[in-house]
Amino acid sequence: MSWGPPAKNYAGVAGTSEDWSHPVYFARRSDPVYWIHQTGWANADIEGRRIHIPVGAKPAGGGDAAFSVVQPFRGWECDFWGAKTPGGYGGIFKANFGKRGRWHGKGLRRSRYPYRGGTTAAGFSNQAGVIRVSEMESGVIDHALFMSVRCHYGNVWPSDSIGTHGQRSYAKDAPAMGQRFWLDMSPAEINALAVPDWQKIILRAMATYGMYVADDGGARWALQLESGDNYTSFGLPDPWVAYAASQGIEGTWDSAIGRTVYDLNLQHAVDWGSKLKVLRPGQ
C-alpha cells in the first residue's frame, strides 16, 4: 500500500478524453458488416474477419480507445485496443490490434492460443470484473472485480503469460499480473462502517470475491466501472450520472472536458493498509 489508496472513479466522463472504460456492444445480424484491419500488432486470428457492429458504437475517448463487440449469434467477443470509430455503414474497421474469445466463457484465460480473448495486460476479457450500474442499483455484485495497477512484476495464474503485458516493472514489490487481492473484513464489519451504502456494495464484493490485477494504468490502483458509452453512444443518458445523484454525490465542474463529473471515491472507506491482503496464486 505504499502506492496509496485506490484512485477515484468518475461518473459522467463517457465520450471524453478522461474515459478509460471498456465499452461493450452487442451486435445483431442486421447490423453493418465490417472487415477487421489491425494497424499495429496484427493478430492473424482476427485479421480480415467479418464483424457486425451496431450503428453508433464507438470506442472509449481515452488514449486506450478500448472497444468490444459481442456477436452472440457467432459465439465470440472481439476486444480491440486503439480502435477507430466505425463509419456506421460497413467497410473496413481499424484498430491497433485485437483479440477474440468465447463470449459465454469465464472471461479469463482460454484453454489454448489464440482463443484467449482480451486486450488487457492479463489477457482477460474486457467484460471481466467490471462493476455495472445495474449491480449497484440492486445492491449486490456477485463476482470478482477488475483491478488495474500502475505497473506489475511477473505473471501468475489466471493471467495470460503471452498477453499484452503493459507496464512491466523491475521493482519486485509491484504486484504480479493476475494477482488476487482480498479485503479481509466480514459482512458484519462492512455493514457497520460509517460510509455510504454504495461503498459497502463494492467492499462486500472485494471481501467475498476479491480483485484480480488485470491491467496496467496511470493510477496507483483502481477498479473498472461499466462504460457509460454503452448508453450514450445510442443517445441515452449515462446511468452512472443518475446513480451518483441518487446517492447524494455532488457533481463538480471539470474544465478539461467541459462538463460536470461525479466522484466515486473509495479512498477513505477502510484502512487499506491493514485490511487489503494478497491470496496465494490459484486460490
List the domain boundaries for the chain.
9-17+128-279, 24-102
Residue 62: all three cell numbers together: 481515452
Per-residue cell: 232: 450514450
Q: Which of the two residues, 144 and 101, has the higher pLDDT score?
A: 144
**Predicted pLDDT at 19:** 92
Q: Find where cell 454525490 sits.
A: 249
In whole angstroms, give the CA distance from residue 34 to residue 88.
9
pLDDT tens digits along 208-235 = 999 999 998 888 899 999 999 999 999 9
Q: What is the pLDDT of residue 172?
A: 77
User: Grid cell 474477419 — which residue?
Assistant: 49
122-131 per-position pLDDT tens digit: 888 888 899 9
pLDDT for the residue 114: 44
Torsion angle, alpha carbons of 260, 131, 20, 147, to 10: 130
What percent of the chain is predicted at pLDDT more than 90? 69
Helix (H) or strand (E) holding 183: strand 180-183
Q: Is the pLDDT of residue 112 over 80?
A: no
Q: At 46, is the pLDDT very low, low, confident or very high (cuts 50, 70, 90)?
A: very high
- For 38-57, what is the mean pLDDT? 94
Mean pLDDT of 140-163: 85
Please tell me the distance from the alpha carbon of residue 260 to that of residue 272, in angstroms, as a whole number: 29
Q: Quick check: 156 and 281 in contact, CB under 8 A?
A: yes
CA 267 to chain centre: 19
Mean of the per-residue pLDDT values of the chain: 89
